[in-house]
Amino acid sequence: MSGNIVSLGGLTIGSKDALEKAMASDGCSSSGATGCGSKQAPEDMDPATWAKVKDHPCYSEEAHHYFARMHVAVAPACNIQCNYCNRKYDCANESRPGVVSERLTPEEAARKVIAVANEVPQLSVLGIAGPGDSCADWKKTKETFTRVTEDIPDIRLCLSSNGLALPEHVEELVDMNVDHVTITINMIDPEVGAKIYPWIRYGNKRYYGVEASKILHERQMLALDMLVERGILVKVNSVLIPGINDEHLLEVNKEVKRRGAFLHNIMPLISDPAHGTHFGLTGQRGPTAAELQKVQEACAGGANLMKHCRQCRADAVGLLGEDRGQEFSLDKLPEEVAYDPAARETYKDWVAKEREDRRAAAEDAKAETGASVAETAPKLLVAVATQGGGRINQHFGHASEFQVFEVDTDGVRFAFHRRCDNYCVDGAGEEDRLDRVIATLEGIDTVLCAKIGDCPRETLAEAGITVLQDHAYDYIETAVSAVYRARMGLAPARAERA
């Protein structure tokens, strides 16, 4: 295991001893004695594809433990109307609905990207996901990408679009070395589409109903085919709308796989009357977690599914699941800023070594567990508190989301994440919040964190959830395998005994 401590941009990762020391004074003091699938790895693809996804947090689940994305909200115009969108807010196709971002000019956006790159060494991807459609507002999207790559040539460019205007820009995307494009495809049947899109604007004319959805569908398929043909990786986003496209998404999944999409991200509709959308105002509900899981399971064997999406903001900054956008608002940006590549380069080198080490540790744990546990042994769900680096390195009270891994004789796999309000506020635990965290963790067997106080640990135990801090700073896979072996009544793995 890597022996050096690395502390970059607020993310501290390193050897267990060094990290325990570093974290000893940091944390909650509100109780008791201690104070209160979507796996995409090198073996899954050819080396050229892996080179494109290995540092993209959305295209590789593994990468999302190490690398950050940022969005710049430069493209406010849109050419269609989705029933889950209110234009007062950002594009809900790849942004959390009901959220308004700070709109930037391409010049401001380029300045912001440089400021973030200097402060957040994990930054690897610049995405444009609104606030409208990146291709409907093409000039601003293109100018932003062009300005940024002049200063930071190794940043990956990523774009999200509803697809209608996308075919017109594919050649320019190739010229700009854009490797990753998301198309939101909610239907392949215009009759279904008519329930989602009231109108589109295409060629200076508005189209309505089924006719509009037919055009949109044809343009989306054309864009997908053109991008795949040119070697650009395409992620398809689909918003799951119960009663409208839930069963239909199986057909979408098959079709986009057939056409060569790299990933399919099925996102839950978030519908709230307060957002003022057609669906929100007419009572169209979003899916439950169980309904989302059912559709994802039904798609097994089709296009690879992304399960670690966090439905970001159009101005998100940081690792998926964290949002540092407020640190880089326009009023905090320097008037002039020069890019310094040193921190990002150091970080990349460190990640390359750390990843290899983690992968080897995960393989060892899998081999030992698989050899000694009966294949019929039940699967466990283990939630981890992590702030990146693939390690158990966050205090229970600080976690505003838990990543849930499933483990069986086949190894440890990311399953889903669950969000909650962090239990500790200003160093003190809040009971109401703990009740909500417990509700969030329903169905989870064990929680692994870097530290927890006696009081919340006992309350969670009463609710049937074991919380362990013994695996603090271990790799997630090593720790989760250890929990599994203990549950199965087996001796610790060799690495743990040593």
Say which residue the tokens 């947090």 belong to: 57
For 71, which DSSP code? E
Determine if 99 is a binding residue for ligand SF4 (CB under 6 A). no
Per CB under 6 A, 74 contacts ligand SF4: no
The C-alpha atoms of residue 92 and residue 280 are separated, in whole angstroms, by: 13
- Write down the least CB distance from residue 392 to ligand SF4, Å: 37
For residue 68, give the 3-state DSSP assignment: strand
Judged by the rule CB under 6 A, the positions of this chain that interact with ligand CLF are: 58, 69, 71, 94, 125, 127, 129, 158, 160, 180, 182, 235, 265, 309-312, 320
Min separation Cβ 68 and ligand CLF, Å: 9
H or E stretch at 435: helix 431-440
Dihedrals phi, psi of 17, to nearest 5 degrees:
-60, -50
Nearer to ligand CLF, 196 or 263 (CB): 263
Q: In whole angstroms, give the CA distance from residue 392 to residue 402.
A: 11
Bridge partners (DSSP) listed for residue 424: 429
Rounded to the nearest whole angstrom, what is the least distance from the CB of residue 161 to ligand SF4 in the complex?
Answer: 8
| Shortest reach from residue 58's CB to ligand CLF, in Å | 3
* Smallest gap from residue 363 Cβ to ligand SF4 (A): 42
Q: Rg of the Cα trace of the chain?
A: 23
Q: Report the residue number, 6 or 295, with the smaller CB distance to ligand CLF.
A: 295
149 versus 182: smaller Cβ distance to ligand CLF: 182
Q: Contact 46/102 with Cβ under 8 angstroms?
A: no
Round to whole Å and give the CA distance between 412 and 407: 4
78 counts as binding ligand SF4 under rule CB under 6 A: yes
69 binds, among ligand CLF, ligand SF4, none (CB under 5 to 8 A by kind): ligand CLF
Q: Is 237 in the site for ligand SF4 (CB under 6 A)?
A: no
Residue 160 site contact among ligand SF4, ligand CLF, none (CB < 5 to 8 Å, cut-off depends on kind): ligand CLF
**Would you say 323 and 99 are in contact if contact means Cβ atoms under 8 Å apart?**
no
Partnered with residue 447 across adjacent β-strands are 383, 467
Contact pattern from residue 107 through residue 136 relative to ligand SF4, giving x for each residue in contact according to CB under 6 A and a dash for the rest: -------------------------xx---
Nearest position to ligand CLF, beta carbon: 127
162 is a site residue for ligand SF4 (CB under 6 A): yes
Contacts of 125 (CB under 8 A, 6+ apart): 55, 56, 57, 58, 67, 68, 69, 70, 155, 156, 157, 158, 180
192 contacts ligand SF4 (rule: CB under 6 A): no
CA angle 107, 112, 114 (to 5 degrees): 100
Running DSSP on this structure, what letter comes out for residue 427?
T
Closest CA to 265 of 494, 19, 59: 59
Cβ proximity to ligand CLF, 127 vs 411, nearer residue: 127
Q: Which helix (H) or strand (E) holds 408?
A: strand 401-408
92 binds, among ligand SF4, ligand CLF, none (CB under 5 to 8 A by kind): ligand SF4
For ligand CLF, the closer of residues 164 and 314 by Cβ is 314
Instruction: Rank residues 91 and 109 by Cβ distance to ligand SF4 and give the closer one.
Output: 91
Rank residues 160 and 481 by Cβ distance to ligand CLF and give the closer one.
160
Distance of alpha carbon 460 from alpha carbon 281, whole angstroms: 38
Closer residue to ligand SF4 in complex, CB, 85/178? 85
**Shorter beta-carbon distance to ligand CLF: residue 238 or 422:** 238
C-alpha to C-alpha distance for 388 and 386, rounded to whole angstroms:
6
Residue 309 found at the interface with ligand SF4 (CB under 6 A): no
Question: In sequence order, which residues have a C-beta less than 8 Å from that of residue 450 and are 6 or more positions away?
Answer: 23, 385, 392, 393, 394, 395, 469, 472, 473
Question: Which residues is 237 bridged to in the sheet?
Answer: 184, 265
> Cβ of residue 320: shortest distance to ligand CLF, in angstroms?
5
Q: How far is the CB of 184 from ligand SF4 (least distance, A)?
A: 7
Q: Which is nearer to ligand SF4, 135 or 472 (CB)?
A: 135
User: What contacts 17, CB < 8 A, 6 or more positions away?
Assistant: none
The conformation of residue 197, written as its DSSP 8-state character, comes to -
Total residues contacting ligand SF4 (rule CB under 6 A)?
A: 11
* Footprint on residues 2-61 left by ligand SF4 (CB under 6 A): none
Which positions touch ligand SF4 (CB under 6 A)? 78, 80-82, 85, 91-93, 132-133, 162
